[in-house]
């Protein structure tokens, strides 16, 4: 219900519940000649295409998809206690900002959270999971035996992973800025000394180095209402 109302551009709570949102429109910034398809309250932007082998642009697309729901530096409080959200780019009709009530904004953010066990990716037609012709159009994976992702660059020939896969050291450095190939004491190159792949072997290896066989317990979940840090500038 909330997701449908949000997609249709209607207010979800407050005095404007069920009514169209207030918009700040600048006709001079309207965008007309764009590859955008609209239907049933949903629009698809097809102006930008990413080639399959362009990994840098594909990564930027993934980072864009994983961005936070709102940019707080573009959210300000206006007269009457309402909130004005400045859009990054004007809409096709020239809309440059939206005016919402605080409760309406919180409701729209909550509508972005999918329900439990909700499938985020759905396939239709012959690609659906129960289609009779699905085996005819979906290629079968080749059985090349067990595969393992290399830890270091020089482990590629030993473990024989897929050529397109990056080693764990590259992933840790790229995502967490953590360099595991350089020793923090002497500055030399690190090398693999021991490895454990089963729970029993991992417990023995941790006990050998004076560590517990299990990770520390997770922190308790916060209780009570969480405050949403909104800009009041």
Q: What pLDDT score was predicted for residue 158? A: 47
Q: What pLDDT score was predicted for residue 4? A: 67
Residue 229 has pLDDT above 70, yes or no: no
pTM of this prediction? 0.41
Q: What pLDDT score was predicted for residue 62? A: 84
The b-or-e profile of 203-226 (16+ CB within 10 A means b, else e) is eeeeeeeeeeeeeeeeeeeeeeee
Closest C-alpha among 133, 143, 103 to residue 228 = 103
171 phi and psi angles, rounded to 5 deg:
-65, -45
Section 53-79 average pLDDT: 85
Q: What pLDDT score was predicted for residue 89? A: 84
Domain boundaries, the chain: 2-111, 153-208
| pLDDT tens track for 142-199 | 665 555 555 655 555 444 545 567 788 888 888 888 888 888 888 888 887 888 888 8
| pLDDT tens track for 94-147 | 889 999 888 888 888 888 888 888 887 888 888 888 888 988 888 877 665 555
Two tokens, residue 7: 């997609």
Residue 233 has pLDDT above 60, yes or no: no
Q: What pLDDT score was predicted for residue 208? A: 86
Residue 36 has pLDDT above 60, yes or no: yes
Write the DSSP string, 58-106. HHHHHHHHTS-S--GGGEEE-GGG-EEEE-SS--TT-EEEEEE-HHHHH
DSSP three-state, residue 43? strand
- Distance CA(66)–CA(71), nearest Å, equals 13
List of residues 6+ apart from 43 with CB closer than 8 A: 36, 37
Q: What pLDDT score was predicted for residue 224? A: 54
43 phi and psi angles, rounded to 5 deg:
-120, 145
């Amino acid at each position: 219900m909330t997701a449908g109302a949000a997609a249709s551009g209607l207010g979800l709570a407050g005095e404007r519940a069920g009514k169209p949102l207030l918009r700040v429109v600048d006709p001079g910034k309207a965008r007309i000649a764009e590859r955008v398809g609209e239907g049933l309250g949903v629009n698809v932007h097809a102006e930008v295409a990413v080639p399959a082998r362009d990994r840098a642009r594909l990564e930027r697309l993934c980072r864009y998809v994983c961005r936070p729901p709102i940019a707080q530096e573009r959210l300000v409080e206006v007269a009457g206690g309402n909130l004005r959200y400045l859009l990054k780019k004007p809409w096709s009709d020239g809309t440059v900002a939206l005016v919402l009530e605080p409760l309406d904004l919180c409701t729209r953010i909550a509508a972005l959270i999918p329900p439990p066990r909700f499938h985020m990716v759905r396939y239709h037609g012959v690609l659906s999971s129960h289609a009779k012709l699905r085996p005819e159009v979906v290629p079968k994976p080749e059985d090349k035996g067990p595969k393992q992702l290399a830890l270091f660059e020089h482990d590629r020939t030993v473990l024989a992973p897929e050529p397109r896969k990056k080693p764990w050291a590259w992933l840790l450095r790229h995502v967490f800025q953590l360099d595991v190939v350089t020793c923090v004491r002497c500055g030399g190159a690190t090398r693999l000394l021991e490895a454990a792949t089963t729970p029993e072997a991992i417990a023995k290896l941790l006990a050998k180095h004076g560590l517990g066989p299990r990770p520390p317990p997770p922190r308790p979940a916060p209780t009570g209402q969480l405050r949403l840090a909104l800009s009041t500038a």
